[in-house]
Every structure is written in C-alpha cells, then in structure tokens.
Structure 1
Amino acid sequence: MSEHTTTQRIALITGANKGIGRGAAEQLAAQGTTVLIGARDPRRGEEAATSLRAAGGDAHAITLDVTDPATVQAAAQQIDQRFGRLDILINNAGITGSGQVDPNEAYDQLPSTVELDIVRKVFETNVFGVITTTNAMLPLLRRSPAARIVNVASHAASTTLLSDPDGPFAGLLPSAAYTPSKAALTALTVQYANELRKDGMLVNAVAPGYVDTDSNNHTGFLTVAQGAAVLVRFATLGADGPTAGFFSEDGPLPW
C-alpha cells in the first residue's frame, strides 16, 4: 500500500543526480512534490536525495539505468510498492555521445565518418531508454488523476532551425547521432501524446536551452535552475495544458 496521501504529487526524474534533472528535482521538491531521484549510480542518487531532504524536500533515490530494462522494471516495482502511483515522469537522462570528458577530443559525429556504434549508443539512451522507462511507468501513471510526461529535448531537435543556413544554429557541426536522436525523441513524444490523450495524460517535449552542465563542458550560458524551470512548468500543467507539443521557455518550437 502507498504510504503517501492522495494529494501529494509523486515525480520520477531520470538522470536526476546532477545537472538539469537535479535542478528540476530541487524545484519540484520545493513545491511539495515527492521527488524520486533516478540515477544509475546508487551512491550519487542517495547523495542527491539526502541533499534535497536536508533542504526540507521529500526525496528518495531510485536506482535506474534507462539502458538496462531490468533496473527500470525493478524501479517500477519499488515505486509501486512504496507509493502506489506516479504523477510525473521526466525523461531527462541523455547523452551527447561526444567530448563529455575531454573537450579537445576529436568530434566524432559527422555523418560521413561517424562510427555506427556511437549512433547506436546515443539512441540507446536518448530514444530507446525513453521507451523502456515510459512503458514501465505507464501502469503507475495511469493511477494518477493528472499524469504528466516531459521528454527533455533540445533546440537541436528542430529540423527547421538546423536546416536554415542563416539561422542561429548554422555554426553547429553536423551530427549523425545526438541531433537525430533528439529529433526522434520529439517525434516519439507526439506518438505517445496521441495514444495517451484519451486518458487525460499530457505528454510534451521540452528544450531547456543551452544550460551550463557537464554534458557541454560547462559552456552553456543558462543556469541549471533556469533550464529546469521550463521542465517543471510542463510537469505541472493544468488540465487545459497542451499535449503533443515541442516547447522552450520562449514558447512553441518549430519541428
């Protein structure tokens, strides 16, 4: 049986021990939401949850690797046993597939020279991992009176923006892995939204912007709190909120 009241929202955020996911966890906890910190590393997950509890939040670590279905299923069972349902799923876990440790590492995603193993690895986390996690959590989300799913996208997912030779992203190097993975994620978001619309679930893809995180070697100009704010807004939409959309802080993004 659930140990929680029916009024307190319960949110699972994947990859929430650091970066934007951690920022979203902090903001949701500050609003009174019970936050489940999804993390591959149990120690890092517990450190994040302990920190949120020290700040007055209700936070719990959940060991979960989106590329390992066994851990995802175990996490769903753990949530079911302890909380009985889920109100919010933020699919935040993601990888760029390039240069996350050494900024001088040779860029390896040019379509003409990319190794397929890199493409597979990025899609495994950024696309297949979202399907694995969402499907495992859907039975719990169906028990919520107002379930919300937020898929963390990127401005790079906008084919319209990236195909403009004079646009703001004209300087980005072509990518056969990360950029197509995020475009696939936005397309997948629409499909989930269409399937779940009749159940009252709102499913959206949200681009947090260029946030200062490990994944870009801290070259981003937005703070984690700024990037997380738009995720939290879409995770807590009212019943009249949008679904099947692709948004940034500034509003709808072109596909």
Structure 2
Amino acid sequence: MEETKVLKVSHLDVFYKNRKRKLFSGKKKVQALFDVSFDMDEGEVLAIAGESGCGKSTLARAIVGINKDYEGAMWQKYEGPQMVFQDPYNSLNPSKKIGWLLEEPLRVDKKKKWTPEERKKRVEEIMAQIELPIEMLDRYPSQLSGGQRQRVCIGIALMRNPKLLIADEPVSALDVTIASQIMELLSRIHKNLGISIIFISHDLRVVYQISDHVMIMKNGRVVEYGKTKEVYKNPKQEYTKQLLRAAGIKE
C-alpha cells in the first residue's frame, strides 16, 4: 500500500554544474546519477553503500532538496527530511553556543512560531534524546569532543521532529569507540521515535549493524538492492562480492 512508503524514487538522473569544462568537453553540467529507482518503507533503515564518489551523497542531497537539478520522479510522504553530515567539526558555527545552535531550526521554522519557553523545552527534550548533559548548552563547539559535536548535529536535525533522517557517513570522522557509541545512539533514536533513516556509508560492517535494506551503488548507478541479510548472504553482483571481500565479510 502506498501509505506504508515514506519515499519513492523513480528513474532519477541527477546533474551538477561543471566547474572543469576542459575535462568534460565544455559541458555546462555533468550527470552524477543514472536511472536510480527504489522505495523505502516507513520506519525502516535503508543503507546506501559503495566506494567514495559512487553517488551516495549526491543522492542524499537530491532527496533533502539541496540539489534540485534532476530528472525523474521523487515522492515523499512527509516534508522536511533532515540531514546529518559527515564532519561534525565543520557542521557547527564555532561562534555560537550549543543552546543557540539547537534553537536555530525553531527560530526559522516557517510552519510554527515557537515561543522562547517552547524552544527551551524542546531543546531540553532533544538533549535527553542525544544523551548530553544540559550544562553543555552553554559551551561552544570547540569545547566539545568530536562525538559530542556529532550528537549535537543529530540533535539539530531532530529539532523539528522530521519523519526521515539522512545520516551521511556520520561516523567516518570519529575513532572506533566513539563511532560505535554514535551508532548505538542512532539505533536507540530509530527505536524510540520510529523515524525512518537513510544511512550512508562505505563501511559494509557498519551497514550490516543498522540497516534493514541495503542499496549498493557504483559510478552513479544502483547495482544491487535488497534486504541486508539476503544481500550479504547471497550477493548477486560481482561488485558487491568484491566490496564484501574487501570488508572481510564472507559470503
């Protein structure tokens, strides 16, 4: 049934402006994604995996509306999908305190006018969800660890209660221990809020931990898509098999 889907993408071609025309025969724009089609159930975790440059982040930016230069069809059940970016160091304004950063999505909310009291209450709710102490609201990003900053980035994305969260390589800039903690946090958020998550990663071991379905991409195309356990157990494409072997995962 249509209402069980949170996202449907059909024959999507995505383009970007060509800043190196000499390398691409003078073309004004370059195609980055080719005929991408998939759908996503509400409440599921869909992983998009593949090597660097395969089109994972390009697809994410099209879904959230950052890149509007595309052809094909894209249907979303809810407005306002939110994105958590890879680098928590550059995602936060260093001149603003954490409390101000968390409130900002509510200050610019066009659908609802939040009172200062409502903003404060919502910030406190989010701090509990991202498992940070309230006293950190008065700190600057430079006073937080990398893992704490990524928790704040997740909190900012959750402020307006989105139904779809896109996490673009959210743990790749963190050490193994902190990355594991962020993965566990995302799993708890998914369970507690019932939020749909698109999880982007090049690490197939991490993908296996969190996703219900996985989509493998190469050179801007989808090469394999299915339930994560089935794809890992019985990959159909040689490229998927290569990725699994490289990650030390036996078929």
Structure with bigger RCO (C-alpha 8 Å, 6+ apart): 2
Please say which structure displays the higher CA radius of gyration: 2
TM-score of the two chains, using structure 2 as the length reference: 0.32
- Greater strand fraction, Structure 1 or Structure 2: 2
